[in-house]
Structure 1
């Protein structure tokens, strides 16, 4: 359980970084940034939403690991 939650946290963090970079690159006119931001303009304008979700999943992963160690 903890491993899956940690993996999801890492993936959400990576997606947040991708959308943040795409938001910076779109003003330059980079093709890939336009394609990424066309997929989800919400995450392109607010990549912190994904980062917050990743943080929550990281806390859940740590809690699950500590819970399994306590038993």
Structure 2
């Protein structure tokens, strides 16, 4: 997290956070896998990194299951 005084990054313990990000990578992978008919809609450079804007349809039930951690 960043310091409100200088903007420097400070490490904090996972237990002190009001949320759990431990399964975020898996959840995002499941959502990406659930995209039907993906299409590249555009390209953009963000903070020096080339990115792609991808569109498609996602089955909302699969997304809910992924977010709930099944």
Q: TM-score, normalised by structure 2?
A: 0.28
Between structure 1 and structure 2, the one with the greater Rg is 2
TM-score, normalised with respect to structure 1:
0.28
Structure with greater proportional strand content: 2
In terms of fraction of residues, the more helix-rich structure is 1
Tell me: higher relative CO, structure 1 or 2? Use CA pairs within 8 A at least 6 residues apart: 1
